[in-house]
Structure 1
Amino acid sequence: MTILLTGGTGKTSLRLASLLHSASIPVLLTSRRGTSTTSFPCVTFDWNDKTTWANPFTAATDIKAVYLLSGNLHDPAPILNSFIDLCKSKGVKRFVVCSGSSCEKGGPFHGKIWQKLEDEGLEFCVLRPSWFMENLSEPGHGHFETILHHNKIFTASGDGKIPWVSAEDIAAVAFHALTDDKSHDCAYRILGPDLLSYDEIAETLSKQLGKQIVHVKLTERQRVQGMMDAGVPEEMAKFLTNLEVMAREGRETWQGDDVEVVTGKKAISFDEFVVLNEGAWK
């Protein structure tokens, strides 16, 4: 049985591919750039180009489970639901959707995908992770760049607290949801063990890196403009800023132990994460 992972170059998909490979489970990744983007088997695939959707099933005829990662789609539900229909026609039995902590069944964005999977009686699991620790430590993310080059973190999150989680833990939960004999048929909030504000994030980084990292608190308008000045499209800048405003308003203070319940291991703390990834900021 081959497991298909969309978003093949994403933080969770690559980690998930490694876990599946280590378990000797065949895996196939997708990427808009095609086969040269990873050492794992990979096919060209673009959510916005339906002519590429059949490529995975040409490359592997025994796909029975799919990991759905929608990337930067503004309205993922119509597109992913259409792809789910194609997958069903090809014999796919199980779907695992990576969403966000605020996703609710039947709601906007991934909520309508969750509703479809449940209504149609499909094997499924919806992952609702909090904010990724890797957004602070990996190139390509604004926080990483400003920490590395300016010793600053710019947000509109104010003093809002967030249960930061590592992509390693998200991948571990996804692995079980895709491979366990019994389908989970539920949603998990995948959270780190601590609620931390950006001020506390900056303090931890300062202590570990031996230099002062400052959290600069911006207004919503300042944050949107700053992202746009850095090349982020206006619509995406507003969307990302709204997530930070939600955190400022206390709407990300989720707590729970779903990572440990599913994997048998406690979620990694931010202190542990910084020690493991200290070299990223030097």
Structure 2
Amino acid sequence: MRIAVTTPNGNVGHHLTRMLVRAGIRPLLLTRHPEQIAEELLPHVDVARADSQKADEVVAATRGVDAIYWVDPSVMSDDPLADYARATDALVRAVVENGIGRVVFQSSVGAEMRHGAGEIDGLAATEVALDALDIDVTHLRCGYFFSNLLLDPESLKAGRLTTVLPLDAPMAWVAPRDIAEVAGLTLLNREWSGHRVQAVHGPEDLSWSQVAEILTQELLRDVAVERIADDEMRQGLLDAGMPDAMAGAVLGMSTGLRDGFVPEQKRTVVTTTPTGLRGWVREELTDEAVRS
């Protein structure tokens, strides 16, 4: 089976690539920057230069592919939803023109809303487009990545986290490696067919207050979380250099899921993955700039 992987150096993709190699698969890695693929991987993978927003490149790179792990890459943009739409078009064209029969798509909790959740709306549109095709597709509705804590390492180092969400509201948090494991097993499992949704919820729902407590205990210094106003969060994103539409789309991922949202997929043994936040902190937050 010929399997293609997009964003192979991403939070999930770099784990998935190595898992497939260990399983005896020689994956095809689609990337804008082939020179950034780890040298140790090169004897075990094939690499194709392809921008996920350029349909011609994706179609050319995926000829002969049987299955693909697809990520709509989030990039700094003046119109992020238009970027998602271009990525969706590239994927659909590749699937149709190359006869790719199986897709595992990295989506998000909240995509079931279809509208009103900021950047997640772009993922929802990809789900809808794939479900219109006569292929086998699994949408991985993932919880909040542990690795998002590293998006602002200076704030983490200073011991101050901010959110627009209620501090005591639990939600699904998940390790990217666990998403990769589910993705890899789904790609290799030939028993499923049709259109599926597979939630990936991590081991337990956590509130922001619980996350701050775990970080305090594991980093051996105080980490506090503060709920701030939507406008303050948006201004912070703008001050960090984010274009206006991008800031709104990022903010919308939180505000859209804030009031009364209940995930379509309930937490079960099927959706629960093993890596806890404590273990992830011990393995991943080793950089002295974060821990000191």
TM-score (norm 1): 0.85
- Where do residues 167-182 of structure 1 align in structure 2 (5 Å cutoff)? 167-182=176-191
2:51 aligned residue: 46
**Pair 1:105–1:246, CA change in 2 (3 A):** closer
Aligned residues: 270
For the 8 Å contact 1:35–1:44, the answer to whether it is kept is: no
Distance 1:106 1:151 in 2: 35
Deviations 1:222-272 (A, max 9, x none): 001011111222222222222223454353667413xx537xx84222223
* Pair 1:214 & 2:216 matched: no
What's the CA shift for 1:48? Answer: 3.1
* Pair 1:154 & 2:162 matched: yes
For the 8 Å contact 1:162–1:247, the answer to whether it is kept is: no
1:267 aligned residue: 274
Cα-Cα RMSD: 2.5
2:245 aligned residue: 235
Q: Which ranges in structure 1 are unaligned for 5 or more consecutive residues?
A: none
Deviations 1:130-164 (A, max 9, x none): 1101112x4xx12x33102x111122123232210
For the 8 Å contact 1:132–1:164, the answer to whether it is kept is: yes
Give aligned-pair identity as a percent: 21
Name the aligned partner's letter for residue 204 of structure 1: I
Deviations 1:23-62 (A, max 9, x none): 01011112222343444433221133334224423xxx53
**Pair 1:252–1:233, CA change in 2 (3 A):** farther
Which sits farther off after the overlay, 248-257 or 41-50?
248-257
* Pair 1:118 & 2:131 matched: yes
Q: Residue 133 of structure 1 is aligned with which of 146, 150, 161?
A: 146
Name the aligned partner's letter for residue 183 of structure 2: A
Distance 2:177 2:65 in 1: 24
Distance 1:86 1:266 in 2: 31
Which sits farther off after the overlay, 16-25 or 192-201?
192-201
